[in-house]
Amino acid sequence: MKVLVLGGYGNFGKRIARLLTRDGVAVIVAGRDRSKAHSLVRTLPEGLAEAAVFDAYADLGRQLATLKAAVVINTCGPFQTSDYGIARTCIDSGVHYIDLADGRDFVIGITRLQAEAAARGVAVISGASTVPALTSAVIESFRTQFSEIEALTFGIAPGQKAERGLATTQAILSYVGKKLRPCAGAQLRYGWQDLYRQSYPEIGKRWMANCDIPDLDLLPKKYGVARIRFSAGMENPLLHLSIWLVSWCVRLGAPIDLPKHASVLLRISNWFDFFGTADSGMHIILDGRDLNGSPVSKKWFIIARDGDGPYIPTVPAVVLAQKIIAGKLDMIGAMPCLGIVTLKEYLQELQGLNISTYAFD
């Protein structure tokens, strides 16, 4: 049984392929660039990887009939501007579907496919990435210590030298300076604004700014969170604050199409790699009431060094694909990846990488 990875040689796709083949799962590395697909396959364990060259938006159905994959993992973002065409093709073919989407509307809206997926007996899981999969895994690990979660503050701060993908860059730029949909405890928010400084173990302080993700809707509903705040930050203060200034230009009405310039801006940001590190971090801070009604706070951090940060978003898709291959995923239908992967499963898959976690009261 094989896993078909769409965008298989991209920033996240290649890491998914490495983790799956490391664990003995066969993969098909798919994309439109023959040279890149075959180049990655040559670096993977012999007999566990093959390449498939096609356009997922135009030819996926025919390829699924030929390749006989049991699971499709879709890494082809940005999902903020995507539809459910690929997921529907998988459903029609009777193939399980997983994606790494971080688009707020995309992940929440995946339940529209519930009836179709259930009728075909397949799982369609969206958002199998850091958010909301890891966030919900951490909350699940702490929730028994809370009678009420009053506030959740969390965010991601990648290192300057950590590999950045074009799709992720386009996704963030799509809402920089734009008014974001309200969330619990915050009615007025704009992309890449509301700056603050966050301290991390090992890697120090990073600037943070507003980002738009599905957790802002999903977590308050599932866990009763009264106030929620998610941010992201860049290690280089000059780059972070430059995007913040651009966000004000967009907010004030300047006709700037930032996603159109994503590739140029990504190249410019790479010029600053010399001044940064490959060390990334994520923080999750829960405030509320304990089982006796007294105030309680829990802080959880994950720190990745040596450029291993981009592996973190790939883990939920890897864990879910392994379960499907092993016949251990007993759910069908369409759903966000919320509370499906446990923190223990998550951290077990990260073993062997330069990644550490910390928990504080």
Q: For 62-71, what is the mean pLDDT?
A: 96
- pLDDT of 129 reads 97
- pLDDT of 152 reads 98
Q: Which residue has the higher pLDDT, 312 or 168?
A: 312
**Percentage above 70 pLDDT, the chain:** 100
pLDDT in tens, 313-359: 999 999 999 999 999 999 999 999 999 999 999 999 999 999 999 99
List of domains in the chain: 2-129+310-354 (3.40.50.720), 131-304 (3.30.360.10)
Mean pLDDT of the chain: 97
d(CA 70, CA 274): 42
Instruction: Indicate if the pLDDT at residue 97 is higher than 90.
Output: yes
Instruction: Indicate if the pLDDT at residue 296 is higher than 90.
Output: yes
Q: For 201-228, what is the mean pLDDT?
A: 98
Q: Which residue has the higher pLDDT, 187 or 282?
A: 282
- pLDDT of 219 reads 98
Instruction: Indicate if the pLDDT at residue 20 is higher than 90.
Output: yes
Instruction: Indicate if the pLDDT at residue 176 is higher than 90.
Output: yes
- pLDDT of 143 reads 96
β-strand 49-53 against 204-210: which pairing, if any? unpaired
**SS3 state at 174:** coil
Give the helix ranges, DSSP H, for the chain. 13-22, 34-41, 56-67, 85-92, 104-109, 114-120, 135-142, 166-173, 215-223, 237-251, 262-270, 315-326, 343-349
SS3 content of the chain, % helix, strand, coil (to 5): 40, 25, 35
Who contacts 339 (Cβ-Cβ below 8 Å, separation ≥6)?
A: 136, 137, 140, 222
- pLDDT of 214 reads 98
pLDDT in tens, 136-158: 999 999 999 999 999 999 999 99
- pLDDT of 19 reads 98
Residue 107 pLDDT grade (very low, low, confident, very high; cuts 50, 70, 90):
very high
- pLDDT of 347 reads 98
Q: For 242-259, what is the mean pLDDT?
A: 96
Residue 165 pLDDT grade (very low, low, confident, very high; cuts 50, 70, 90):
confident
- pLDDT of 164 reads 87
Instruction: Indicate if the pLDDT at residue 125 is higher than 90.
Output: yes
Q: For 211-235, what is the mean pLDDT?
A: 98
| 336 strand-pairing partners | 126
Burial 210-225 (b: 16+ CB within 10 A, else e): bbbbbbbbbbbebbeb
Residue 264 pLDDT grade (very low, low, confident, very high; cuts 50, 70, 90):
very high
Residue with tokens 């030929």: 66
Residue 231 pLDDT grade (very low, low, confident, very high; cuts 50, 70, 90):
very high
